[in-house]
Amino acid sequence: MQKQNQGMVDSSTITLQDIIDLDFLQKFQDYFADALGVASISVDIEGNPVTKPSNFTRFCMDYTRGSKVGVARCVECDRKGGEESARTGKPSIYDCHAGLVDFGTPIMLEGRQIGSIIGGQVLTSTPDEDYYRKVAQEIGVNPDEYVAALRDVKQISRKNLEAAANMLYLVANTLSKIGYQQYKLRNMAGLINDSVVQISATMEELAASANDVSENQTTLNEEIKNVNVVSGKINEVMDFIKDIADETRLLGLNAAIEAARAGEAGLGFGVVAQEIRKLSGDSKETVGKIKEFTTIIQESVEKTVAMGQATSVTVEQQAAAIEEVTASIQEVTSMAEQLHSMANEK
């Protein structure tokens, strides 16, 4: 019997790549970034990128992250922002070390974070160029080029950035939920298919076993007929023995009569005695035939018993197969109920 709840999926083992189409996520991320003028990239739970960067600024990529000191500071900022979003399970808005504003949006699955969409790289107020020249000196890049790149950074209100992060959060987590449901559906569909194949194979075994039972029963019937035929022959022999007994009785009577006569009458007794010996021989031969038929009967009975045992084994196998089919049907029924619940889940 198969294990129950085999169709259940352990969500603790699911990764972002398992449930979200990364090509679709890339397109959505690109459109989102272009529409709002913010940068974005998707990462797994370990912080490894699963999409290409969308709309990343030259200020960040060529200068801030192009510096050894700058990229180290960026990693630390992203780490803190990711920790905050992971702690709350909600989007977090935070200021980066270089003076821009970033966001971290967690992708959740049944209360567990499986990834994030991070980005931003925007300004929420008019920048103080002197501050950025100081940052440029700290991270070792050209201040004039750094400020020139800063002037290309999009400026939006913090409220709009928070709204964008929340919208991204809702869409990403809806994708996560839908993807997880589809993942479970695919998994259950595979198990249902396997169960149906198993049921089909088991039913074929049942059909083959039924044919074996039928053939055994036919052979058993033939053996029983043989027993009946042999029994009839035994009856014939017994009738013959009865006739011999009757004749022997009459001859014995005649012998007694002859013996009562005196003299030469003894010669007649000798003839009678000879006939009796002849009948005795016939009786011995008949007894041999009876033993032969008895042996045949015993062999037929043994075959009948053996076939009966084989039939019992086949019946046990059929019972086990039926039990397995029943278990598979129960599992299919359970998964069908889960599919129905998932289809109606809002």
To 10 degrees, the CA torsion angle through 270, 274, 279, 285? Answer: 150
- pLDDT for residue 159 is more than 60: yes
- Per-residue pLDDT, 134: 95
- Per-residue pLDDT, 2: 41
Q: Is 15 exposed, middle or buried (0-12, 13-18, 19+ CB in 10 A)?
A: middle
H helix runs in 64-157, sequence order: 68-88, 129-139, 143-150
* CATH numbers and ranges of domains, the chain: 11-156 (3.30.450.20), 191-344 (1.10.287.1700)
Across 48-52, 109-113, 142-146, 203-207, the highest mean pLDDT is recorded for 142-146
What is the pLDDT of the chain when averaged over all its residues? 80
Question: Checking DSSP bridges between strand 112-122 and strand 101-109, what pairing results, if any?
Answer: antiparallel
- pLDDT for residue 232 is more than 60: yes
Q: Which residue has the higher pLDDT, 247 or 18?
A: 18
Q: Torsions phi, psi of 122, nearest 5?
A: -130, 170
- pLDDT for residue 25 is more than 50: yes
- Per-residue pLDDT, 3: 41
333 vs 315: CA distance, rounded Å: 27
Lowest mean pLDDT among 139-153, 214-228, 257-271, 287-301: 257-271
- Per-residue pLDDT, 4: 41
Q: Which residue has the higher pLDDT, 40 or 227?
A: 40
- pLDDT for residue 102 is more than 80: yes
Other C-beta atoms lying within 10 Å of the C-beta of residue 321: 17
pTM for the predicted model, two decimal places:
0.61
- Per-residue pLDDT, 223: 73
pLDDT digits (tens, 9 = 90+) for 68-85: 999 999 888 877 877 788
pLDDT digits (tens, 9 = 90+) for 236-257: 776 677 677 667 666 666 666 6
Average the pLDDT over 105-112 and give the result.
89
